[in-house]
Amino acid sequence: MALQALPQAARDYSVTQRREAQAAVAAVLRLWRRMGIDFDQSYDRIAPSLLTVVRTAQGRIATGALVYVPDVLEETGQVRAIQSAAAIVPESLVGVAGDGRPVDTLLYGAVTHAKERVSAGATATQALRSASLWMSMTVGTLLSDTGRQSESLAIGTRPVGGYVRMLNPPSCARCVVLAGKWYRKNAGFQRHPGCDCRHIPASESIGDDLTVNSAEYFDQLSSADQDRVFTKAGAEAIRNGADLNKVVNARRGMYTAQAPSGRQRLYTREGGRSAARALRSSRGRRDVPVRLMPETISQLATDRDDYLRLLRANGYIL
């Protein structure tokens, strides 16, 4: 039973991108296991390798997105939109997180997280284990955001009206409700920590072919998974006939990677103080530069010419 009727190019892209991200996260966690109780010193030893792994994965994911967009446009018959108005520079998305801060600043947040766990009474081993989970979630979200920002660039520089949100099951209840709907291309992509939903470039008419049947998704889950994904009370209400789309507050906990003003949206809501402190201190660096991201530029630009001008000024296109 297909939850969402996807073009083959989108299905292939989803699988490839997920594999890239999973391989990178696994490599990062292998490096993290070298951490010792001397948090800063041991982090300094693994940091260069961590950055190499993440930056390499970002480059591959960004490039893959740029290939995917024209491929799926061709497959869905949107051939007039294949030609891009500018040459995109995938390297411009390497070394920067989805919210515009440098990747090295983001990754150091794992050390900050570990230190805070120790301050709260955890042993060094427990703190490092907790920070490992933080790192896994953060790197996975970072790489998904790299792909989404690259998709945003590839869509924004082409005469495509918008996009449809593509699910990568297993998905949370919020993503199921938001997916399959058509959004204008300057609409910020709503996500949550760990979210790996992506764009399918589409005109509004094409978008009608990519809808998601949320009731089907619910029905194909076991009762235990229904309770886990939709909460026990929510799942029970849906089983008793309530409208799934009304039960789920789809916007709760969702955010764009960067606010339209360019201010940062920190990835980790649960560990917000840890992430914020890492951002402020960043090993003594008090002013951490924040880049304006492609998705944000699409929201800020007054017209197409202004959009292309801002992309060029920020190094995203030639």
Per-residue pLDDT of the chain (318 residues; tens, 9 = 90+): 355 668 899 989 999 999 999 999 999 999 999 999 999 999 999 999 999 999 999 999 999 999 999 999 999 999 999 999 999 999 999 999 988 999 999 999 999 999 999 999 999 999 999 999 999 999 999 999 999 999 999 999 999 988 888 877 777 888 887 877 888 888 877 777 777 778 889 887 777 777 777 778 888 889 999 999 888 888 988 898 888 877 887 556 556 666 555 444 432 222 334 434 444 445 655 556 678 899 889 988 999 999 999 999 999 999
What DSSP string runs through 130-150? HHHHHHHHHHHHHHHHHHHHH
Contact 117, 131 (CB under 8 A): yes
**What is the per-residue pLDDT for 69?**
97
CA distance 50 to 28: 6
Q: Of 236, 266, 231, 209, which is closest to residue 78 (Cα–Cα)?
A: 209
**What is the per-residue pLDDT for 215?**
79
Contact 307, 301 (CB under 8 A): yes
**What is the per-residue pLDDT for 277?**
46
CA distance 215 to 228: 16
Q: How many residues does the chain have?
A: 318
Q: What is the DSSP letter of 183?
A: E
Question: Where are the chain's structural domains?
Answer: 8-220+288-314
Measured CA distances, 206 to 9, 14, 180, 197, 231 (Å)? 15, 19, 11, 19, 33
Question: pTM for the full model?
Answer: 0.82
**What is the per-residue pLDDT for 192?**
72
